[in-house]
Amino acid sequence: MKYIVGIGGMTNGGKTTLTNSLLKSLPNCCVIHQDDFFKPQDQIAVGEDGFKQWDVLESLDMEAMLSTVQAWMISPRKFARAHGVSVQLDASDTHILILEGFLLYSYKPLVDLYSRRYFLTVPYEECKWRRSTRRYMVPDPPGLFDGHVWPMYQKYKREMEANGVEVVYLDGMKSREELFHQVLEDIQNSLLNRS
């Protein structure tokens, strides 16, 4: 069985932290990070607001991300070997792929491939504070959060909801441990229901 999990939601919601914990506990589990598909800086548009538009779908090479997902779908075993993931040779033959990123549910060709879509959120103040402590490859210029990051987050979330994309909302204010156990248990239950 092939099972694709989305760990999506807002920037600094805790997606990468949760994903890294899940990876260690789920068997035959590979990961694809959406952040690895940002286009080079010189291809990022500058908006009328003067900010580089990092937080729009066009800043990501989603075709390349989709191809990577398709490579896993064709042969999860080969994909796992190529990415240094040890494959257990048990009878269940379940293969799990985690997609992790801030715009997972806004790209049409991917949206129906998920078995389960999680969406992490924290309140605005917490998100802004966590973001101020982060150092990205390209540092945030002053005003980027309120001028670009937050409005784009709201826009894509509104569109996702208007399109009826079903997600499981997760409260990113819970502790790392609580979130990990909640999602691990939910994935395990969902896998049992399918087998």
Ligand X SMILES: Nc1ncnc2c1ncn2[C@@H]1O[C@H](COP(=O)(O)OP(=O)(O)O)[C@@H](O)[C@H]1O
Ligand Y SMILES: NC(=O)c1ccc[n+]([C@@H]2O[C@H](COP(=O)(O)O)[C@@H](O)[C@H]2O)c1
* Of positions 48, 112, 139, 175, contacts ligand X by CB under 6 A: 175
Q: Least distance (Å) from ligand Y to the CB of residue 22?
A: 16
Encoded tokens for 96: 């799990």
Residue from 118, 129, 127 nearest 18 by CA: 118
Residue with Cβ nearer ligand X (12 or 94): 12
Q: How far apart are the C-alpha atoms of 129 and 108, rounded to whole Å? A: 31
**Is 182 one of the binding residues for ligand Y (CB under 6 A)?**
no
The distance of closest approach from Cβ of residue 62 to ligand X in the complex, given in angstroms and rounded to an integer, is 18
Which three-class secondary structure state does DSSP give residue 60?
A: strand
Length of the chain: 195
Which of 7, 29, 149, 183 is close enough to bind ligand Y by CB under 6 A? 149
By the criterion CB under 5 A, which residues form the site for Mg ion? 16
Site for ligand X in 28-87 (CB under 6 A): none
The answer to whether residue 12 forms part of the interface with ligand X (CB under 6 A) is yes
What minimum distance in Å lies between the beta carbon of 121 and ligand Y?
Answer: 12
Helix (H) or strand (E) run with residue 70 in it:
helix 62-74
User: Torsion over CA of 170, 174, 180 and 186, rounded to 10 degrees?
Assistant: -40
Which region, judged by CB under 6 A, interacts with ligand Y, from 12-20, 82-90, 104-112, 156-164?
12-20
